[in-house]
């Protein structure tokens, strides 16, 4: 009997925490990790690639998934749908690969409810002061957007019941190392105790 099994990890965190950089570092040590690609009804932007940035669906395709429980989570923003197809998990598990989701706190809650075997990880900034410094350092956002992002970040800490783990993003290397430890531990998590008991007893 194979004791290890694919892990299902949900990563979430406020803008500026460094999720993209941490994920890039993690993929360097875990190249077989299956990263869930979200689906959207909006048109591709210049430089975006289908199947890499998003799966681009027609509105009727997305609504068919929505009406047939084919989405783990979804939202509608600026008139366009965004969501996580359930088929992503089925595809990863069929290949025996760990799967990782990158979603906001609302998406994390929805996936946790639909996939009880999943675990949710909050990638947090070292402090709100550091987060504000990072956001301002981008030099791409208005003061209004910065304040909105800071308010959204505080909201994460009012919903800690969603998360199983929290990682402080001191540096991308520090955070990626701890995320990798969570990933490895989840492969050994006991999901089917009766089957395991039958094998050993």
> 51-94 pLDDT, tens per residue?
989 999 999 999 999 999 999 999 998 899 999 999 999 999 99
Closest CA to 167 of 60, 5, 4, 14: 14
**Which residues contact residue 67 at a Cβ distance below 8 angstroms, ignoring those fewer than 6 apart?**
none
**Ranges for all domains in the chain classified under CATH 3.30.63.10:** 37-97
pTM score above 0.85:
yes
1-33+98-201 to CATH, choices 3.60.15.10, 3.30.1360.120, 3.40.50.720, 3.40.50.300: 3.40.50.300
Phi, psi of 175 (to 5 degrees): -65, -40
**Ranges for all domains in the chain classified under CATH 3.40.50.300:** 1-33+98-201
Q: Which architecture, in CATH terms, is 37-97?
A: 2-Layer Sandwich (3.30)
What percent of the chain clears pLDDT 70, i.e. is strictly above it? Answer: 99
């Amino acid at each position: 009997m194979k004791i290890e099994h694919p892990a299902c990890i949900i990563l979430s965190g406020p803008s500026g925490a460094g999720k993209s950089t941490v994920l890039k570092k993690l993929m360097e040590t875990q190249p077989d990790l299956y990263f869930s690609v979200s689906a959207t009804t909006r048109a591709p932007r210049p430089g975006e690639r289908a199947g890499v940035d998003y799966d681009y669906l027609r509105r009727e395709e997305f609504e068919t998934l929505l009406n047939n429980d084919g989405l783990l989570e979804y939202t509608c923003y600026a008139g366009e749908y965004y969501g996580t197809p359930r088929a992503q998990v089925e595809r990863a598990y069929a290949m025996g690969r760990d799967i990782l989701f990158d979603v906001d706190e609302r998406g994390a809650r929805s996936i946790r409810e639909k996939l009880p075997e999943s675990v949710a990880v909050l990638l947090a900034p070292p402090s709100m002061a550091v987060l504000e410094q990072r956001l301002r350092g981008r030099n791409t956002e208005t003061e209004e957007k910065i304040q909105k992002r800071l308010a959204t970040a505080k909201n994460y800490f009012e919903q800690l019941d969603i998360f199983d783990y929290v990682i402080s993003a001191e540096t991308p290397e520090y955070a990626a190392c701890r995320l990798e430890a969570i990933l490895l531990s989840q492969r050994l998590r006991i999901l089917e105790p009766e089957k395991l008991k039958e094998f050993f007893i």
